[in-house]
Copies of this chain bind each other. A is one copy, B any other.
C-alpha cells in the first residue's frame, strides 16, 4: 500500500514534507548552467543537462531529510521530449535514494484514456508482451472533474502496484473559488462534495495505519476549508501545496493533519530549490553552495511544520 509506505517514510525521517522539484533554467546557478551552455551548442540540451545536475545535487543534499519529492510535470514538458527524459532520470535518481516520488501532472480523461495515463505513471505499458515502465514513480496527482470512471483506472493500479493518487479537492490558487467553491443545492460546496467522493473512492485502498492510497490535494492557503474537508475525508492522505513562497504558514498547513499528527504531507518547491537566493539563506550560502542552502531550508521547514503540528494538537 502506497499510504503505508508514505507514512513509514514520513515517520522514519520525522518529516511530513516533500521537496518540490519544479526546476526552471533561471533557477540553476550560473556556475552550473555555464558549464553546459559553454560545452553544448543546442541550448535545450544544455538546459536539460544543467537541470538534471541541479536536481540531482539537490536530491543528494536532502534525501536523508525529506521522505519524498514532488516533480511538477509542466516544468519538464516545457523542455519537450528531452525534458521528459530529465523527468524520467530525476525520478529514477530519487528512487535510487529511496525517496517517495510524486508526479504532479493533474492528469484526467475518460476511462479508456485515463488507463493510458495510469499505465504511463503508475503501471506499465505492455508492448506486444514486453513490459515497459515509462516513468518510475509512486504517486500521481489527478483531476476529478470527469468523475469516477476517469479515476477508477488509477485506483486499480494503486491496488495492483502499491501506488497512490492525490485527487484535486481545493487548490491553493486564488481562483480556485470559481468552480470549487460553488454552492450546491444542499448547501455544500463543490470541493466539499469532491472530498466526500474521494472518501468513497478511497475505501478499497486503506492501509494498516487507517489511511488510503487515494489521497487529496488541499491548499494550505485555505486553512478554513482544509479543516472542513479533513473531517469529510478522514482517511485521505492530503498533499498540501501553498506553503512558503505561495504565502501559507506552517500553522495554515497544520490544519490538514489529523490528531494522530499524520494525514498530510506539505510541499514546498521554490523555497527549497531557490533557497540560495532567498532573504533567509543568501547571506549564509553563496550560489556554489545552493544545495546546502536547500538542505538548510528543508531542515528549517521540517522543524517549522513539526512545531506547528504539535502546537495545534496541544492547544
Label chain A's interface by main secondary structure.
Answer: helix
On whether the beta carbons of B79 and A145 are closer than 8 Å, the reply is no
Number of copies of chain A assembled together: 2
On whether the beta carbons of B134 and A148 are closer than 8 Å, the reply is no
Bound CA–CA A148/B109 (angstroms):
20
On whether the beta carbons of B197 and A147 are closer than 8 Å, the reply is no
Bound CA–CA A92/B212 (angstroms):
43
- Say yes or no for A315: interface residue by CB 8 A criterion: no
Asked whether A78 and B120 contact (CB < 8 A) given A143-B145, A185-B185, the answer is yes
Bound CA–CA A211/B12 (angstroms):
57
On whether the beta carbons of B74 and A116 are closer than 8 Å, the reply is yes
**Using Cβ atoms and an 8 Å threshold, which residues of chain B touch A87?**
81
**Using Cβ atoms and an 8 Å threshold, which residues of chain B touch A77?**
116-117, 120-121, 134
- Say yes or no for A214: interface residue by CB 8 A criterion: no
What is the interface residue range for chain A against chain B? 35 or more
Checking B109, B130, B193 against A43 with a beta-carbon cut-off of 8 angstroms, the contacting residue is B130
On whether the beta carbons of A179 and B174 are closer than 8 Å, the reply is no
On whether the beta carbons of A132 and B182 are closer than 8 Å, the reply is no
On whether the beta carbons of B182 and A183 are closer than 8 Å, the reply is no
Checking B78, B125, B171, B179 against A110 with a beta-carbon cut-off of 8 angstroms, the contacting residue is B171
On whether the beta carbons of A147 and B134 are closer than 8 Å, the reply is no
Residues of A within 8 A of B (CB): 22, 24-25, 33, 37, 43-44, 46-47, 72, 74-75, 77-85, 87-88, 104, 106-111, 113-114, 116-117, 119-121, 125, 127-128, 130, 132, 134-135, 143-150, 168, 171-180, 182-185, 187, 190, 193-194, 197, 241
The 7 nearest A-B residue pairs measured at CB = A147-B178, A147-B175, A80-B134, A74-B116, A149-B175, A110-B173, A81-B84
| A106-B143, A183-B184, A184-B185 known, 6 other contacts, Cβ within 8 Å | A25-B127, A74-B117, A77-B116, A146-B171, A147-B176, A147-B178
